Amino acid sequence: MKPSILVTRAVFPDVVARLSEHFTVEDNPDDHIFSEAELIQKLQGKDGLFANPADRISAALIQACPQLKAVCNMAVGYNNVDVAAATAAGIMVTNTPDVLNETTADFGWALLMATARRVTESEHYLRAGKWQKWTYDGFLGADVHGSTLGVIGMGRIGQAIARRSMGFDMQVVYHNRSRLTPELEARANNARYLSRDALLQTADHVVLVLPYSAAVHHFIGADELALMKPGATLVNIARGGIVDDAALIAALKQGQIAAAGLDVFENEPAFNPAFLSLENVVLTPHIASASAPTRRAMANCAAMNLIAALSGQTPPNLLNPQAVK
């Protein structure tokens, strides 16, 4: 008898077909967002979970689903899963690293450029029929070339962002939990390690790429924003909660920094509506990895992890090897 799994959200049909070769699959082509109670009910008798990053896999859910053996997240981040509770219950947890590095780095640059050069603001102006003439000071933005790029979170994606700065003749400074090797620093456009506060004081453009945890909740708040240059920009492609959104809104309103580009938010998708009243912010709905090849690669990676986990093998992207008996 095949193991039974739940696919919580709509995903590529061919990925569901691949999973169906190995499992009895309950999928969700209507893309209904399950409440925790609904998830618990759906998971009764299920061996595996193909999870979406918006699914909250809590300790209570884990306790209520004793047959569950694997939670495979279709994301590189996994702060939606209580990994400690899963480990205690002997449940393997996996993510999808590496396959989205370059695409996410591309999008980080898209946000950086749009933010620095006021692309969204000027497009809205044009669409509203306000463009009547060329002016010498119309939508003056910040240069990217020749400026200083600050990367907070110098993992694989952060390094990919730093490598792209070579074509813009930029200086790179970075902050990370641990310093990179000299070889990796050299590959990342000779990136120079700084403390967080020194980086914020130095960089013209700051990009956040660090993973979320309780330890970095509001890592960038009012005090940190006050350290930044008045003409600086802030881009967040990491996770909501790393930035204190209320403090950022205040800083943008006051002109404390020039602009921000945000792909992630606190409490998304129910983000702070005050962002919508600001002209100096570029807003996107958590789409940094959203190229067709990359999202397909993420789905197939999650499927591969789940197939391995429920076939007696060690999944290639296992986050909690302690869970394997």
Write out the DSSP string of 136-186: TTTT-----TTSEEEEE--SHHHHHHHHHGGGGT-EEEEE-SSPPPHHHHH
Among this protein's residues, is 286 annotated catalytic?
yes
Strand order, beta sheet including 4-7 = 24-26, 4-7, 48-51, 70-73, 92-94
62-87 per-residue burial string, b: 16 or more CB within 10 A, e: under 16 = bebbeebbbbbbbbbbbbbbbbebbb
In the annotation, is 187 catalytic? Answer: no
The one catalytic residue in 9, 117, 205, 286 is 286
| Distance (Å) of CA 115 to CA 204, 205, 222, 250 | 12, 10, 20, 17
- 306-309: long-range pairs with CB below 8 Å, 24+: 306/5, 306/19, 306/23, 306/48, 306/50, 306/70, 306/72, 306/94, 307/19, 307/22, 309/48, 309/69, 309/70, 309/72, 309/92, 309/94
* CB-neighbour burial class of residue 21 (10 A; exposed 0-12, middle 13-18, buried 19+): exposed
User: Exactly one of 26, 36, 102, 268 is catalytic; which is it?
Assistant: 268
Q: Contact 23/2 with Cβ under 8 angstroms?
A: yes
- In the set 239, 279, 295, 296, the catalytic residue is 239
Report the C-alpha gap between 137 and 140 in whole angstroms.
6
Beta partners for residue 25, in sequence order: 5
Residue 239 is a catalytic residue = yes
Catalytic residue positions, numbered: 239, 268, 286
